[in-house]
Amino acid sequence: MTEFVFKLDDDDVFTKPSASEVDLTSKGNYNHTFFNLLRPLYRMPSFFQNEALDLWYISLMVYYVDRKVLRNGTFDNWTREVKLYIPVLEVDKWNENKNLLIKMISYLSGDAWDFEFRKRELNPIETKISKNIPQRYVSNKYIPDSFCMLSGGLDSFIGAIDLLKVNRNIAFIGHYGGGKGVKPFQDKVISLLKDEFELKDEQFFNFHAAPIGGVEDTTRTRSFMFFMHAIILASCINKEVDLYIPENGLISLNIPLTNSRLGSSSTRTTHPYYLKLFQELLVKLGIQVTLKNPYQFSTKGEMLLNCEKPDFIKKHYQETMSCSHPDQVRWIKGSVEPKHCGTCLPCTIRRASILKGCDSDFTQYRDVDYINRKAKIELRSYKIGLLDYFSSAENPFTIQMSGKIDEDLESYTDLYKRGMVELATFINSKNG
């Protein structure tokens, strides 16, 4: 088992000889901008709820371990066994909810986690911010009604458009990592939304968070950390708040289509079971945030077709990023800017949705026709996966492969069928 002792204050003397020590306030360990961007934080009416602040730090710690500990070399080259020693403000609540946290994070990442909590007080930067927030907020009347994740992807762009058509008093939360990746697309999406809906700068928050020297690239817990940037801000509102996480229902179900996406090797970011566990944890901690995915029963193509501003989305969908590895363009001679690969499963689902929802696809892809060797293998794998699907399409237990579905089974099964037909229509049009 790999162990880590995390610290948030120079005065913390806790130690464990068998564990690595990590100071989250040190730039040598973690690069995160949350407390550096004080102006955005001072838009909030009150300081963060203790439980939300604890959970935000826990998400950073979990993501740190996720990036620093390799899966290769474990007994199955995937499952890691890790234990984190964590300082928290509300130690009794965390001890009460430890098993639920373990269950949620273990399901998300596919690893075996353990946590040990110890009591702490606010550190100096937190104390400073907690004193300044009430003073700085006096002249600012802006309080969002709800929050929405804004990743720079097509789903979150559609989600933002649909929400803003009804209510413009929404705060949008973004996160970017170390590469060029999604940041230019996030900036473009923000610009488009500001212009189209006449939004204010203070409605957009965008944070950077990345462990220094991360070597593991599966990063299944990134979504936990991403969502927590919204939840910690929402905890400042002092009332019940909705957090919208727009993602198409097919990708949320995370049903393996190929051997490379079996089990926990594929993301469970918005799987209904994971969100159910997450929501249960928030309730038990007393954090008044309700997680909502408005598209849990919609395919990506249906999201495009039913967008509240059809002309706007058809004009600008190509300015979003769906690819799972856009930074790999740097390995292409003569290429500089991030670009969709065109052949990974997220790109393939995107292309299938645009085929369904638009007349043509103007997105720039590195490989449109699955020409390179890896793309050909992926395409053949997709086609084999589709053959397997159509041979057992009536089996309602298929959607249970990546996680328990104990509610709305019939609706999820129907969604799965529509999503696979949408995907097959595109994949079967390609030779390979």
In a domain, 344, yes or no: yes
- The span from the CA of 173 to the CA of 225, in Å, is 12
Write the DSSP assignment of 184-211 as a string of letters.
HHHHHHHHHHHHHHT--GGGEEEEEEEE
pLDDT at residue 111, as a whole number: 94
Q: What is the mean pLDDT of each run of 10 residues along the chain (432 residues)?
A: 96 95 92 84 87 98 96 92 98 98 96 98 93 68 88 97 96 81 89 96 92 89 95 94 97 75 61 96 98 98 97 96 74 64 93 94 94 92 87 70 87 93 94 74
**Sign of the four-CA dihedral 138, 141, 143, 149:** negative
In a domain, 197, yes or no: no
pLDDT at residue 400, as a whole number: 82
Model pTM? 0.93
pLDDT at residue 139, as a whole number: 52
In a domain, 324, yes or no: yes
What the block records as the tokens of 1 is 């088992």
In a domain, 280, yes or no: no
CB 416, CB 253: distance < 8 Å:
yes
Give the pairing of strands 170-176 and 204-211: parallel
> How many structural domains comprise the chain?
1
In a domain, 260, yes or no: no
Q: Containing domain of residue 389, as a range?
A: 317-427
In a domain, 390, yes or no: yes
pLDDT at residue 44, as a whole number: 81
In a domain, 337, yes or no: yes
Q: Which long-range contacts (CB under 8 A, 24 or more apart) does 189-194 make?
A: 189/150, 189/152, 189/156, 189/157, 189/160, 189/319, 189/320, 190/150, 192/157, 192/316, 192/319, 193/160, 193/161, 193/164
In a domain, 133, yes or no: no
Q: Identify the DSSP state of 49.
A: P
Write the DSSP assignment of 149-164 as a string of letters.
E--SSHHHHHHHHHHH
CB 420, CB 393: distance < 8 Å:
yes
Angle, to 10 degrees, between the axis of helix 373-391 and the axis of helix 345-357? 70
